Amino acid sequence: MKVTVHRKAHFNAAHRLYNKNWNMDKNDEVFGKCNNPHYHGHNYELVTSVTGEIDPVTGYVIDMKVLKDLIKEEVEDKLDHKNLNEQVKEFQNLNPTAENIAVVIWNKLRNKLDQKLDLEVTLYETPRNFVTYKGE
């Protein structure tokens, strides 16, 4: 019997979407306003979902305090109020789209989670646009 627990988190960050191998016109054509060279911000909402067996001793899949602290250390402390392109090493050569941010977050959390637990992240870039990644 497997149960999934979910934890919500939040961070604000700035980014610019562009391909450095293209000129400004081509970048504008593909990325529109997101290619603004002065950057723009989003209020990102993250849902971290952990699936596993219920521990018969604790009754938990994972201690939510442990999960909360992990998200704070690996995601919030590293991304909140940052310029993703300029200040986060994973995006030095990776476009900080919601898709790529979700993969980066998943990798950070996966490294710290017990291997017997399954992980999925859902990242909202706006209330209507969101992506999911579960390591496939």
Catalytic residue list contains 125: yes
Using CB under 5 A as the binding criterion, the count of chain residues that bind Ni ion stands at: 1
Beta-strand relationship, 118-124 and 130-133: antiparallel
Catalytic residue list contains 53: no
Q: Of 34 and 104, which has the nearer Cβ to Ni ion?
A: 34
Spatial neighbors of 127 by CB under 8 A, at least 6 apart, are none
Residue in this structure with the two tokens 């940052």, named with its chain if needed: 82
CB of 15 to Ni ion, least distance (A): 6
With contacts defined by CB under 5 A, name the span among 26-34, 52-60, 72-80, 92-100 that binds Ni ion.
26-34
Per the CB < 8 A criterion, the answer to whether 9 and 77 are in contact is no
**What gap in Å lies between CA 109 and CA 75, rounded to an integer?**
8
By CB under 5 A, residue 88 contacts Ni ion = no
By CB under 5 A, residue 34 contacts Ni ion = yes
* Contacts (CB under 5 A) with Ni ion, residues 43-82: none
Of residues 34, 42, 74, 120, which has the active-site annotation? 34
Number of residues that this document lists for the chain: 136
Question: What SS3 class is residue 42?
Answer: strand
By CB under 5 A, residue 101 contacts Ni ion = no
Q: Of 34 and 119, which has the nearer Cβ to Ni ion?
A: 34
**What gap in Å lies between CA 135 and CA 121, rounded to an integer?**
9
Q: Contact positions toward Ni ion, by CB under 5 A?
A: 34
Residues identified as active-site: 34, 81, 125
